[in-house]
Structure 1
């Protein structure tokens, strides 16, 4: 489910699963604060993901995302007991997915 707030001068979007309307909500909003933008740029330059999501199968999820032209900066990589991958969200962030 997509909810767009258009009140006042600020805009943001929230997303929830269509199967779980009361589940986890993801908030997406513009980054217009100078300090926050600098922080975001530095994290991206250093290759540091801003968030991480757990998935059941990293390789399967990577294949699904690759079919949508997602670009990975780290392909599925085993690190001990976990497998990770990192992709560019096209908004200046790196997102990590992890399988335990």
Structure 2
């Protein structure tokens, strides 16, 4: 069993007047995250927010998850909707899964 983890700022849209800060309606950002070492099969991945900066004048609508998990990488998916204005998000993640061992046999 192996564990990998990390932390990533997904965006800082208040700096660039990006869509998460200035837009309305459905908005989504996907970020590809490579694992430090390849898992044998796709691991279980948990994603959570470790920092959020959201406008206090609008409703807070946030969905964060993992998607397209493979042994090599996965995507963090951040989604908001309506009039929510999100300045910045940092996500932390952890993956648990089977890893190879130098004693494993590769039998064709």
- Bucket of the pairwise TM-score, normalised by the shorter protein: under 0.3
Larger-gyration structure (1/2): 2
- Higher share in strand: 2
- Higher share in helix: 1
Higher relative contact order (CA 8 A, sep 6+): 2
> TM-score of the superposition, structure 1-length normalised?
0.28
